[in-house]
């Protein structure tokens, strides 16, 4: 499993990037948001990757952050969502927005992605919401983390659910959220908590 690649950007298009590491050029399919955030060809960059091996193909998918990488894995775990649809979602939504839409059951947000129709959008919202719910129900660790569980439906609890949907441990998510001003909008709480979690 190739976790990440650090090297020179050889070339990039809207949906692919070639990065040279140790004399080997790796071609990765990327969301348009990743292509836009990477430096110009000739400059160094790090790409977080997911390798997909099928009977007929070996494909590499690249992302500008670990949050995007884990969000891609989470999206492709949904029934009927392949890498192409997951890249389309990440081309129009940040991982925070994906997690927020999933935890609030907002399936319409996913229909903005190319190739994601209403039925698939509903399935994404439903399956990811279940994952968020399971993550909070099992081993939340709120009590043993010594943190107060946020009130259900409040901005902090939505932020915790969104972070769990992104693959973070619920007790770590609760701890990170408890350090953020709870009067902020949910998206800001998630952003600040993500910064804290990335330093762990």
Whether residues 70 and 58 fall in one domain: no
Q: Is residue 139 over pLDDT 90?
A: no
**Do 108 and 146 lie in a common domain?**
no
178-193 pLDDT, tens digit per residue, is 888 878 888 888 888 8
Q: Is residue 182 a contact partner of residue 154, using CB atoms and an 8 Å limit?
A: yes
Last residue of a domain, one of 104, 130, 156: 130
Residue 133 has pLDDT above 80, yes or no: no
On whether the pTM is more than 0.75, the answer is no
Quickly state the pLDDT bin for 161 (edges 50, 70, 90): confident
Beta carbons of 102 and 132 less than 8 angstroms apart = yes
Which domain, by its residues, includes 102?
66-130
- Between 164 and 62, name the one with better pLDDT: 62
Counting other chains too, the contacts that 31-38 makes at CB distance below 8 Å and 24 or more residues apart are 31/63, 31/68, 31/87, 31/88, 31/90, 31/91, 32/91, 33/64, 33/68, 33/90, 33/91, 33/94, 34/62, 34/63, 34/64, 34/68, 34/90, 37/64, 38/9, 38/12, 38/64
Per-residue pLDDT at 141: 30
pLDDT of residue 131: 67
Count up the domains in the chain and report the number.
3
């Amino acid at each position: 499993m190739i976790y990440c690649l650090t090297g020179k950007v050889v070339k990039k298009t809207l949906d692919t990037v070639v990065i040279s590491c140790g004399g080997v050029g790796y071609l990765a399919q990327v969301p348009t948001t990743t292509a836009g955030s990477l430096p110009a060809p000739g400059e160094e960059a790090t790409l977080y990757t997911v390798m997909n091996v099928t009977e007929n193909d070996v494909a590499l998918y690249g992302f500008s952050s670990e949050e995007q990488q884990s969000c891609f894995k989470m999206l492709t775990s949904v029934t009927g969502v392949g890498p192409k649809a997951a890249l389309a979602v990440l081309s129009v939504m940040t991982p925070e927005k994906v997690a927020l839409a999933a935890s609030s059951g907002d399936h319409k947000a996913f229909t903005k992605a190319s190739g994601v129709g209403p039925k698939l959008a509903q399935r994404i919202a439903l399956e990811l919401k279940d994952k968020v719910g399971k993550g909070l129900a099992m081993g939340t660790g709120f009590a043993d983390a010594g943190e107060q569980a946020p009130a259900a439906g409040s901005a902090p609890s939505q932020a915790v659910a969104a972070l769990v949907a992104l693959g973070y441990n619920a007790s770590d998510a609760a701890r990170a959220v408890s350090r953020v001003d709870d009067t902020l909008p949910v998206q800001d709480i998630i952003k600040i908590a993500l910064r804290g979690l990335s330093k762990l």
